[in-house]
Amino acid sequence: MQYRTLGRTGVQVSALSLGAMNFGAIGRTTQDDATALVTAALDGGINVIDTADMYSAGESETMVGKALAGRRDDVVLATKATLPMGPERNHRGGSRRWLVTALDDSLRRLGVDHVDLYQMHRWDPETSDEETLAALTDLQRAGKVRYFGSSTFPAYKIVQTQWAAREHRLGRYVTEQPSYSILQRGIEADVLPMTAAYGMGVLAWSPLASGWLSGAVREGREITTSRSKTLPQRFDLALPANRARLDAVEHLAKIADEAGLTLIQLALGFVTAHPAVTSALVGPRTLEHLRSHLAAADTVLPGDVLDAIDEVVAPGVDLAAHEKLDAPPALLDPTLRRR
């Protein structure tokens, strides 16, 4: 396992991190499953576990906490907030009112007195940067949070939050968690240059592109990835974007074969090769999945393989830009364009 420094924090983290989104109802995993995955991940050299309050309505955090019993100090523990935790309109977002409550709830479910990294799951356009950063700074000073970061923030928002932290003399986001894979390279154009400029660590989610790069999606085969059942539109081959992805996967599979690699090794090796990326988040449901991910832990792609990948999906290009989840509110809400 390779280890890198998380931004400018001095904290050493593994090149692969364990994402716990599939723990609980979302992935139909039991506590025994979650404990086995956490144990195998730690034994395999992974030292970052990432979850969120809204994963299976808190169940993921509870399972992570139980799985870490006796090994808490061996792990860089990360969780997230801001996405809805029920129908109540104030049980979401980046306000001080909610973040103080949300963090206490997460700590209770995890069974710990602090988290190492507390991330804003999405940018909350209804809340000022100063409000959110002030709340996070106070939670950090209270010892409940060691560091805080953002997730899926567009590049201009990363710049704005860094400016707000400096302007108001508050703590700043030290990490960003964006979607990044061979099939979704748009962040290379703006997000990754900004995180590098501000010395932020980057934890890349969906490096296997929701299963497209796992080997489960190939021409002429039945699609077996679990996401095809929960998000069928992402695998509907009648859609042009999905046909483009399948064509790319077929070319990438040939590149992997010629390099003596699995498609998973190619995909994870590509993400961790970018100098701005600290760690790639993998989200296995089974031990078999995890073992295939760990087999890529030390994969280093040579220049000719990286060049071949660029020929399939050009730098800075998203094959499914509509799935990025970072569109500005003005593009999603007509009232903001027509006021």
- Name the residues annotated as catalytic: 55
Closest CA to 55 of 18, 104, 22: 22
- Token reading at 94: 């980046």
76 vs 54, 251, 295, CA distance in Å? Answer: 20, 36, 21
Token readout for 21 is 């989104």
221 burial via Cβ count (<10 Å: 0-12, 13-18, 19+) = exposed
How distant, in Å, are the alpha carbons of 11, 59, 136, 221, 337 from that of 149?
14, 22, 10, 40, 30
Q: What is the dihedral of CA 103, 108, 114, 115, to 10 degrees?
A: -70
SS3 222: coil
| Amino acid, single-letter form, for residue 324 | K
Give CA–CA dist 10/330, Å, rounded: 38
